[in-house]
Each structure stands twice: as structure tokens, then as C-alpha cells.
Structure 1
Amino acid sequence: MTTVTDDLRLAADFAPATYDDWRKLVDGVLKGAPFEKLVGKTYDGLKLDPIYQRARRVVPISGRASGMPWQIMQRIDHPDAAHANAQALHDLENGANGLTLVFAGANGAYGFGLEPTADAIDRVLDGVFIDAGISIELQVGPQSRMAAIHLAEYVKRKGLAPAACDIRFGLDPIGACAVWGSSPYSWAEIVPAVTSAIKGLAGIGFMGPSAVADGRVIHDAGGSEVQELAFVLAAGVAYLRAMEGAGLALEDARSLLYARLSADADQYLTMAKFRALRLLWARIEQSCGLAPKPLFIAADTAWRMLTQRDPYVNMLRATMATFSAGLGGADSINVLPHTLALGLPDPFARRVARNTQLVLLEESNLAKVSDPAAGCGSIETLTQQLCDAAWSMFQEIEGAGGAFAALEQGLIQRKVAATRSAREANFARRKEVLTGASEFPNLHEAHVAVLEAKPVALAPYGETRFKFEALSPMRLAAPFERLRDRSDQILKDRGARPKVFLANLGAPADFTARATFAKSFFETGGIEAVDTEGFTEPAALTAAFKASGAALACLCSSDRTYARHASAAAKALQAAGAKHIYLAGRPGDLEVPLRGAGVNDFIFAGGDALVTLQDAYRLTE
């Protein structure tokens, strides 16, 4: 019987494998192709190698105390205060230990949010013991900024000790201006207002933090990790300067500031980003003559990765984002419910968001180890790359006069726009995909319930005096979802969706791979694929096409079968009335004869799926 000890001895009999040994094996497989084919790149141009050696630095990054769990925050954003209160109490009774109060007009409201009045806050927090270890975080915007003051007054009215309440007030005028793309006030006018509020809250005993440097502004707009980190640094430094200028010592000012980052489903980049922020902020503190202390970092799972279609896949994306932020050292995590892109989440969606964190903390014990990525070659390398690139961009922003001035000059927006454009192009070509939306769609998915609610109407906020390009939130799946919505409307109006006939040629072994690709390709845009058993005779093919009711056709098979049968099949389909004929795969040397036979377009991995699908709708009208 083999034992664990025997296995270890057996492994010891083999010579240790080295990186050079691995490279020799890889070079043999590449057969002369450059090794760089295996090296990926982030949107910031950072290299992602296929393998890494163990990192030399193994000292964990100082952050959340070892063994301490992050705060499980639950989003409270129902416009009706009574409903919001019921949600808050239920969440706290079932595992959440913090509430994120999202007010209408906040950057993260996404169309809904609480009414920013004293009465609404009274009703939302009825029965919530906010001095009993519960964390409260506010997400406010220009029109809801008074919510912070109303909450402070609520604490005073209830006779609670401000120092006993763990409240992050979330003041962030820079982030608000960035998303709005305008401001009634200059930065010189904003500073005394925001510092007066921060000093006022500190003066009555709130321990803070009160102001937040919010990286979601960049992430929601399609920006990169480096851009998000640099913006957080620039905004944070702007708030530190403002507080110091208002008479606060830097030692006190830094405790009144925290950061917020988006966490998405890219495990390595998310973990490295959270780790990098701690190192970068420590460098800021050292530059200020301060001994570094851990910065409080809040995490929200990413808005831009949410899909309306097949929203249950959002659960998986949120789980990976939570996993990554938790292991990256986030102090609190707020999971966006999987149906948020459709509307206000129902109790089931809220329960899943809450339990995502509970399972990872209580069953997977993710918080038991401090900085588990320490020493991991890939994440350590990526962390350092992010630090170097983000610091460089931060210096560029500082050189422009700081965060607000850089926004006025469009410096930040230009960088984010370029990244967003590249990202959108990759999703249009399905080089990157969102399962259920731009890959593996389900045209017959069931309706998903959300709550009915009327958003809060807010009064206009001042006269715009300073205007610049807005960093508007986006969702990557939206262009494909618009096509699916169009398909649903056609189904409702005409009783049938637009269809494409899959003209499968030869035996299943010939056509299955490309027929599967074509089906996913067209149904991603809501065009129903009519599958077939396979044809060798043009007569049978044309009969099946006419019976399908489709206006479009797509030839699907192997390159070898195309060479023998594709031209004849295309001619037969054209004669049968096909408005447009596609062929699944790259045509190679056959392009000229295939086009001559009636093939109009070729669909393949890396082609612009979005443009092709949009054109298909014009062809079927």
C-alpha cells in the first residue's frame, strides 16, 4: 500500500524541474513560433507571462488584520423608506454586518437610491442599532450630499455616541464631478465646503472616515486598473491637501479618508490591484513624512460586468470578484445583486449577494490567512507592475495640477476613452466574452423578476459653470443586449424572431464544431439559428431552407468539405431566395470562388460580431 511518505520519497527521486527545462519543452511545442505568442497583455500594456517563478519577497502586505473577516456590506437602495428598512433589518438578521446606504444621484445608484432627507433616514434606520458593531457606508452625490449631515443629526437625536458608530460618510465631490462632467463650483469653491463638513463630523466625535477616493468612477467608465489606481491616488491626495489647508494635521487627515475599488471577475488583476493600492498609499504617506498605516479599502463588485441576459451567470462573476477582493485584502465588500442591471433586486437576489460572502468567509475561510498571495510570482510581479505604472500616471495627473484640474483638461478622460474603445472593440469581436450575453446565449430564458419601484425625483443641482467630458458608467454587454431586445420586439410583433438557416454540409464530424460556433454567434444577437442534420445534395438543402422560414443562411462545415461542396451549396441557397449567405470560418484561398458562388460574408473567431449582427437585422427588415 502506497503512503503519503512513499509518494514524497518517489518525488525526491526525480531531479527538480527548472524554468529552462520548461522553456525547452515549450519551444519544442511552438516549433519555431515566437515565445511571445504565449505572453498576454493587459489594457495597460502590462505583460502576463504564461509561467512565473516564486517571488523573492514573501512579507505579506499590511492590511486587514490577520484572521479578521472583511465587513459584509449589503446594498440598501429602495426608494421607498419602509421597504428599505425592511430590507436592512432582514439583511442584518441574516448575516450582513454592514449596510451601504445608496442615495439617489450617487455614482453607484444606477437609477434608484434612497431619498436624501432626514425623514427618510429616520425611517430606513428604524430598529437598526448602529452603535452595536454595525458598519454604515454612505454613497452620496451632489444632490444627496446632505444625507451625511442628516445621518449625523440622527445619531445626535438618538443620544448615541458618535465615536461608537462605525460610519463612512462617503463624501466625494471629485468623483461626482467626474461622472457628471460638470460642476457649479470651482475646486477652490468646493474645498471649503467639503472640508467644513469633514471637520464638522470629526468635531462632534465621528471617528471617520468621511471622504472617499472612489475608483469605481474609472472602472465603471471602462477604464483600466492603472487608471483606477492613479485616480484614487490623485483624488486621495487632493482631499489630504484640502484637509491640511483647512487646518487639520496630516496625521489626523489621513484617518478621515478611505478608498473604494471595483472588483471584477479577473482574479489576478483584481487581487493585484487591491494589493498595489496599499503599497502605493504607503508611498504617499511616506512622502508626507508619515509612518504608513493600513488604508481602509472598500470593494464593490463591478457594474460593468453585469448582464441583463442570463443574469444568473452574474452570480459566478460576483463570486470570483468577491474571492479576489477578499484575498487582495479588502476591508469591506458590497456585492451587487445579480439582477441589478434589470432593476431593483428582489429578496432572492439580495439573499444570493449576501450569501456569496458568507459562504466564502464561513465555509471557505478566506480571511484566515493574511495576504495569501505573498510570494506568488505571478501576483507579486503584477502588483509591482501596477504600482510602477499607476505611480507614473499619478505623477502625470499631479503635473497637470491635481485630480480636478486633470479632469478639466480632459487628461484622465482621454486615457479612459482610449481604454474603453479598445475594450469595446474586443467585446464586439468576442475576443473577450460575457457568458450568457456575448457567448452561449439562451434565447428561451425565463423572465427574471425584479421589484417595482418609482425612482426618487431630485431637484436640479446648481447652474453648470465648469463643464468637461463625463466619465459615464457603461456595461460591456449592453450592445448585444440591445440586439436581443430588438429580437424580442420582433417576436412580439410578428410572432417569430429573425432566423438564420444553418446549412450544415457533410457528416456531423465535419460540421458540428462550426455549426455550434455559428449558432452561438447569431443567437448572441437574438437571431435564431435553425439547425439541421447535414446535407450532401443541393436539392435537399434548398428544400430544407425553404421550409425553415429563414431569410439568412450560413454554411457550416470543415475546410475540406467546403472545397468540395460550398460553392454548389451557396448557388443553391441563392437560387432558393436566401437574402444573405454567410460561411462559418476563414475562407483562405477559396474566398474568390466562394464569393462568386454567392457567399456574402464570413464569420470567424475574432471577426466583428457586433457589426455583422447589426447588418443582419438590416438585411431582414
Structure 2
Amino acid sequence: MEDRPLAELFGPATRERWRRAVDAALKGGDFEKRLVSKTADGLRIEPLYEPAAPLAQPVRAPGPWRLAQRVDQPDPEKASAQALVDLEGGADALVLVHREAPAARGFGLDLSSVDGLDAALKSVMLPLIALRLDAGPAGFETASLLRQLIERRGDDPAALDLDLGLDPLGTRAATGRLEAGWEARLCETARAFAGVRGSVALADARPYHEAGASEVQELAAVLAAAIAYLRALEAGGHDLERAREQIAVLLVADADEFLTVAKFRAIRRLWARVEEACGLEPKPLRVLAETAWRMMTRRDPFVNILRTTMATASAGLGGADSVTALPYTLALGLPDAFARRVVRNSQIVLVEESNLARVSDPAAGAGGFEALTAELTEKAWAAFQEIEREGGLAASLDTGALAQRIAAVAEARARAVATRREPLTGASEFPFLAEKPVAVLAEAPQATARPDGALPSARLAEPYEALRDASDARLAETGRRPAVFLANLGPVAVHNARSTFAANAFAAGGIEAIGNDGFSETAALAEAFRASGARVACLCSSDKVYETEAAPALAALKDAGASTIYLAGKPAEAEALRQAGLHGLLFAGCDLLALLQEAADRARG
């Protein structure tokens, strides 16, 4: 018997051999359509990458990222208790959310006095933690109150780690209003906090991400904001070397691991390019992260735990200095202690048990991550230059140029959500109509439209949630949801795949499917439909059965009183069936949102 290492018994693993094996498995299928995807910016995501020589990459300082928890409880006393529980439970940073901040989601603290701020941070020892202010249009006033609190407590400014979160341009994007004279106030605040570790200005990506921006657009917007703050500080008399240390960036982390890791790596490269252009030796940029509001769902909210954990891990692997993960019930209302503990412990597991922070740049040399990082960097730089040619971020927002570009991407993404090319687990995929309510301390108030000139803010699942809400309201009013009768043709083995698909698809719109084991006779089918009390039906079976049975079944259902009839699939005889009264087709890739809205309306009569 030959005694050789196993690896020597096989030929070299080359791309050519791999491609031949893939083509054989595809059996004539299109390689590009099956295995290559594209991002919202048109970047190709290949199925296989060669190892890459790692480029020089600015990284986070050695050690784990900071675990930051939002403090958004409106009652100062309860907020203080909440903060202490978080810190005792493993968090080492807090985000103090002002009620006027766009990210308050209808809650947040009333920080109109130093006494109120002191009460919210009662027993919190500021030198032992990192603190970020999230105050939106009240940013300068809140920073001034924090300065007074530091003086009142006698804390050494040099011992503090603060991010004041001043982002006038981000506030302009979210509210439509830009504070006059913000440049002078920014410089004044920077002088007042001289010697404090951390940052004064924050280029915040959340307004752009919530409006639907792509990764490139998000990077370009925060880079344009950061440079505007750098210019303002320099023009106000601050040394350029010190001015850059007063600026931090907050990027949004979502559940797409590859793009999130690459995005966080790209911002560091972009800022290093700015520093070099300014004649400065690059230093690590302070990069903060918050998980995406856009990806959160109100339905099946437990899936949000998976989304935020993936987003947190991706931000940490990408080099974030601090990560704020949103509690899984935030879209429903003010999170309770359990939701806060879950999101806190998820980070602790990632850092302490999974040890994801032990390697400074784990993506270095990985072909996919290196390629995406390089492409995002170049495209974002070009998009940033476009904003600069338009007169800077404020001018681009005022003319609506940036908003139009973001809206185009958001519209394309909305189409992908409507057709489930971008699936939302628990909302558009695998919905559960009988899910139980989830506890929150207070229900979220009704969202209001943002003022003219502001970028919109929306979660991807909102259209499906609106349909589910209408279904719940009908159930409460009448005792029944909108319903669809599944006209299953043939035995279970024949119709099961499409009847299951149809039941799940209709459930995404709050429409309850009335199932059965299938029918071989049209008379029995018509009688079962009458007995169901439904107004809408959906034919479900195989294409072979449709050839002979769909037309008679369609006629029988119409005679039995069906006002609207759909068919699951795309059979060859679909057009003839339409001529005979079939209303529409339900298939993978159809505009499911439009179909569900129509079906719900017709099911209600």
C-alpha cells in the first residue's frame, strides 16, 4: 500500500478545476445569475476569491471594542438605574439619548438642565466609562450641560473618555434644518473640552443609512461631513494636528457580514487618505458603530437578536472602537431589562467567549474582504468628490442632489424587498400569524413624517408590517383575518410544495390560508370553497396537473362565488387561464407586496 500524504493523491486545486466542477454542478445554468451577486453600488460579489496580499490597513488600538448601551428611558431616576445595571452587567460605555434626537424613537431624556443630566447619570462614575451624547439638534446645549456637570463633580477632564456627538450636518440631513453659526459653536466647544479624550464632532451615518443609502453613499456622506468639521476647526484657529483628533465617525452595522466588515475597513483607509492629503502622518480614526435601525422588524422580533449579533460581530471584526447594539424590541417600543440584557450579553459572548477582538484585522489577506474593501474605498472616494463638486455636504443636501441619489438606491431596495429578492425573515419570509406579543416598557408612538428637506427614515419591513397590522385589526373587530382558500389539486405529494409556499406568502400580508389535503373532483373543490366562507382562492399544484385541471377548477371556483383567484407558479398556460378569469400569479420573484395588498382588499370585500 502506497504511503503518501493524502493531499498528494489529488491534483492541484486550481481555479480552472474548480470552474469545471461548478459548471458540471450547474448543468447548463447561468454562472453569473446563480453564483455572482451585486451590491446596491453594483460591486460584484464573487463565489470564490484568490488569497490577497494584505495592504497597509489602519486598525483599532489593541484590545476589545467598547460595549456601549443606550440610555433612553425618559424618567431620569429609572434611566440612572438602567445605566447602572448595564455597567454592572458588562457594558463599559453609555450613549445618553436626548428626547430631541432623531434616534430617540419617541423616547429619550429631557436634558434641559444640569440637574436633569446629573440625575440621569446618578452614581455613574464618568472617569470609569466612555460616554457618548446623542442629542441631535440639542447637541451644543447638552455638551455645555455636560461641561457644567464635570465641573460640579470635580472630575479631571484628562481622565474622561467622551464623544460629544456634535453633528450639525447630520442633524440637517435628519431634520431639514442647519443651525446658523455652527462652525463657531463647534470651535468654541472644542476649546471648552480641550484635554478630554474622545471627540467633539461626530460624522454620523445614521441619517443616510435610514434613508436607504448604499455603502458607498454612506461612506461618502460621513467623509464629507468629517472634512467639513476638519475645515471648520482649522478655520477657527485649531491646529490641524489636534483638530483631526476631535473628529469621530459613526457607521451603521447591518446583517450583511461581508459588506459591513469591508465598510468599516474602508472608512479607515479613506480617512488616512485625507490625512495624507493634509500633510499629516495618518493616525487611527475613532470609529463608532451602531446596529442598523433599517433592518429591525416589529414582527418576529426575536430574529432581531440574530441580526444585531451578526452586525455587531461584523463591526467589531471591521475595526470599530465601540459598538452600540439596538435591543431586539426597539421597533416595538421602549425595551425592558430583558431585551437590554440580551443585547448586552450578545456582545460579551462575542468579545469574551468568542474572542473576536483578539486579532486586530482578521480580514487582512482574505481575498473577498480585501477586494470589497478596495472597491468600496475607490467608489466612496469618487462619490465624496462628487459631493465636494456640489459645494460640500450642506450644499448637496440643500439642492437635493444627495437625496435624489439615495432615493434611487432606496427605491431599488424597496423593489427587492417587495419581490423578496431581499428577504426579511419573520416579515416577508417565514411569518407566524399566531405569534405572541412581546413585552416592552412603553409602546412606540406613531411615527411622524419628517419635515420638508429632511431625509426620510424607514425600516425595510414597514410595508409588510402595515398589512399585518390591518389583519390584526380585522381579527380584533370581526374574529377573523382576511383569508384565502387554497384550492389544492391532486394528492398532497403533488400540491404540497406550492401550497406551503402560498400559505407562507399570504401570511406575510396577514392573510390566513385555509388548507386541505387536495381535491380530485371539481364539485368537491367548489363545495369546500363555499363552506370556507372565503372570497379569494389560490390554485396550488404541479405544472403537469395544471395542464388538465386548472381550467375546470378555475371555472368551478368562479361558479362557487370566488371573486378573485390566484395560481401558485408560472405554468405555460397562464395566459389562457388569465383570459378565463385567473386574476394573478404567485411565484418567487413576483411583486408580493402588491399582490398581498390587493388580495387583502378583496378578501375583506
Q: Could you say whether these structures have the same fold, taking a TM-score greater than 0.5 normalized by the shorter chain as the test? A: yes
Change in CA separation of 1:234 and 1:144 when aligned onto 2, cut-off 3 Å: closer
How far the C-alpha of 1:143 sits from its partner, in A, is 3.4
List aligned pairs for 1:275-424, cutoff 5 A. Answer: 275-424=265-414
The answer for the alignment partner of 1:128 in structure 2 is 124
Does the CA contact (< 8 Å) of 2:105 and 2:444 recur in 1? Answer: no
Does the CA contact (< 8 Å) of 2:169 and 2:178 recur in 1? Answer: no
Change in CA separation of 1:468 and 1:530 when aligned onto 2, cut-off 3 Å: closer
Does the CA contact (< 8 Å) of 2:106 and 2:444 recur in 1? Answer: no
Change in CA separation of 1:34 and 1:448 when aligned onto 2, cut-off 3 Å: closer
Q: Does 1:604 align with 2:580?
A: no
Distance 1:286 1:160 in 2: 36
- 1:429-458 deviation line (CA, Å, top 9, x unaligned): 111111001111110000111113898xxx
The amino acid that maps onto 1:123 is A
List aligned pairs for 1:144-163, cutoff 5 A. Answer: 144-163=139-158
Does the CA contact (< 8 Å) of 2:333 and 2:444 recur in 1? Answer: no
The answer for the alignment partner of 2:600 in structure 1 is 617
Equivalent of 2:512, from 523, 528, 532? 528
Distance 1:54 1:575 in 2: 64
The amino acid that maps onto 1:618 is D
List aligned pairs for 1:135-214, cutoff 5 A. Answer: 135-183=130-178, 185=180, 189-202=181-194, 205-214=195-204
The amino acid that maps onto 1:42 is T
Distance 2:387 2:513 in 1: 50
The amino acid that maps onto 1:606 is G
Q: For structure 2, list consecutive stretches of 5 or more residues without a partner in the other structure.
A: none
Distance 1:437 1:127 in 2: 41
List aligned pairs for 1:552-591, cutoff 5 A. Answer: 552-588=536-572, 590-591=573-574
Distance 2:236 2:23 in 1: 62
Distance 1:214 1:193 in 2: 18
The answer for the alignment partner of 1:62 in structure 2 is 58
Distance 1:468 1:442 in 2: 37
- 1:256-297 deviation line (CA, Å, top 9, x unaligned): 110000000001000000001111110011001011011011
Equivalent of 1:44, from 32, 37, 41? 41
Distance 2:332 2:139 in 1: 24
Distance 1:47 1:613 in 2: 32
The amino acid that maps onto 1:164 is A
The answer for the alignment partner of 1:540 in structure 2 is 524
Does the CA contact (< 8 Å) of 1:413 and 1:469 recur in 2? Answer: no
Change in CA separation of 1:223 and 1:131 when aligned onto 2, cut-off 3 Å: same
SS in 2 for 1:485: helix
SS in 2 for 1:169: strand
Q: TM-score, normalised by structure 2?
A: 0.96
Equivalent of 1:511, from 482, 495, 499? 495
User: How many residues matched?
Assistant: 596
Which range is displaced more, 17-26 or 439-448? 17-26
List aligned pairs for 1:249-260, cutoff 5 A. Answer: 249-260=239-250
Distance 2:226 2:434 in 1: 47
Q: Does 1:447 align with 2:437?
A: yes
How far the C-alpha of 1:323 sits from its partner, in A, is 1.0
- Kindly report the root-mean-square deviation, in angstroms, between the aligned alpha carbons of the 2 structures: 1.7
The answer for the alignment partner of 1:113 in structure 2 is 108
Distance 1:468 1:582 in 2: 41
How far the C-alpha of 1:36 sits from its partner, in A, is 2.3
Distance 1:32 1:617 in 2: 40
Change in CA separation of 1:43 and 1:597 when aligned onto 2, cut-off 3 Å: same
Does the CA contact (< 8 Å) of 1:175 and 1:213 recur in 2? Answer: yes
Distance 1:156 1:16 in 2: 68
Distance 2:444 2:53 in 1: 55
Q: Does 1:12 align with 2:2?
A: no
How far the C-alpha of 1:559 sits from its partner, in A, is 0.4
The amino acid that maps onto 2:177 is S
Q: For structure 1, list consecutive stretches of 5 or more residues without a partner in the other structure.
A: 1-5, 456-463
Distance 1:317 1:552 in 2: 35
- 1:145-197 deviation line (CA, Å, top 9, x unaligned): 31111111101100110110111110000000011123353xxx321122222
